Amino acid sequence: MTAIYIQLVVSGLLLGGIYALVSVGLTMIFGVSRIKNFAHGDLVMVGMYLTYALTTWTQLDPYLLVPVVTVALFGFGLLLSFALIRRIQGAPQVAQIFATVGLGLVLQNAALMIFGADFRTTNSEIAGNVLRFWGISLPLSLFIAFVVSMAVIACLTVFLRTSMVGKAMRAIAQDRRAASLMSIDVKFIDMLTFGLGTACAGLAGALLVPLYPVYPTIGANLVLISFVVVILGGLGSIEGALIGGLAIGLIETLSGFFIGSEMRQMAYFLVFIAVLLFRPAGLFGQRGSETLGS
């Protein structure tokens, strides 16, 4: 019985690592650009479909295509930032919400036109393997996704704290006007941040393809979880997104086992509401973060 509980906890943490990777891109975009990107889940969906299409075309293992998909989504993020996001920069929140929701609907319907409504899956020699240790069994694909997610989050943290571009991002997050007066190219940093956030979404999508089937509306579920993670951890906090993602993955797995799979969302929303009652800014957020740097 103990082995079952250990497996549940480990599985929940591994799943939470993927949620954290999806959410890190969202919280980074908000922290720097103050954009509420409701299309973020659909960008993960684009990454999943691109991985599926490339796998079908090249017959390569989807894990070999992860770098290609990540770079492609980075470029796609730059394009979106130039064509749309910069035009709603500083606009009222309702304008940002409608613009990004509209973008998500466009991406969903484009996927529906190209791939249809059927669930699509990929074959991977790695995905079928199982890790067995200490009496528990875990899908190798889930473990790989967790390791890659943790490595990327660690690299992003180091990048933001040590590099000149990362310091510029943090400066803009604190005060956009002061950063511009210090000769920081705010528009370029905004575009780069959106590209990095979109790349994280694409990377998460590529890692999810061996685990879950892809369909046009899968992003709706992912963006809901992402916003819960980001708000729970604290708006703009990468550390908060990591802890929030791990927490949501753990709660979802344990509640699905003890209560029932249909009650998983209710369980983490109850925890989410309880946390916000005592810490409205989230676990690692600061009060007023929604307006800081605007």
pLDDT digits (tens, 9 = 90+) for 77-91: 999 999 999 888 878
Q: Is the dihedral of CA 215, 16, 147, 150 positive or negative?
A: positive
pLDDT at 293: 47
Mean pLDDT over 72-77 rounds to 96
CA distance 19 to 149: 9
Is pLDDT above 60 for 289? no
User: How far is Cα of residue 257 from the mean position of the Cα atoms in its chain?
Assistant: 25
Paired tokens of 191: 């575009």
Check: CB of residue 215 under 8 Å from CB of residue 108.
no
pLDDT digits (tens, 9 = 90+) for 193-244: 999 999 999 999 999 998 889 999 999 889 988 988 988 888 778 888 999 9
Is pLDDT above 60 for 290? no
Check: CB of residue 43 under 8 Å from CB of residue 196.
no
Residues 6+ apart with CB under 8 A from 64: none
Q: Is the dihedral of CA 52, 55, 58, 59 positive or negative?
A: negative
Mean pLDDT over 240-258 rounds to 89
Please tell me whether the overall predicted TM-score, pTM, comes out greater than 0.75 for this model.
Answer: yes
The helix (H) or strand (E) run that includes residue 139 is strand 136-139
Q: Is the model more confident about 120 or about 281?
A: 120
Is pLDDT above 80 for 284? no
Give 137's strand partners: 132
Mean pLDDT over 237-264 rounds to 86
Check: CB of residue 38 under 8 Å from CB of residue 101.
yes
Cα Dmax for the chain: 61
Paired tokens of 97: 């919400």
Is pLDDT above 50 for 101? yes
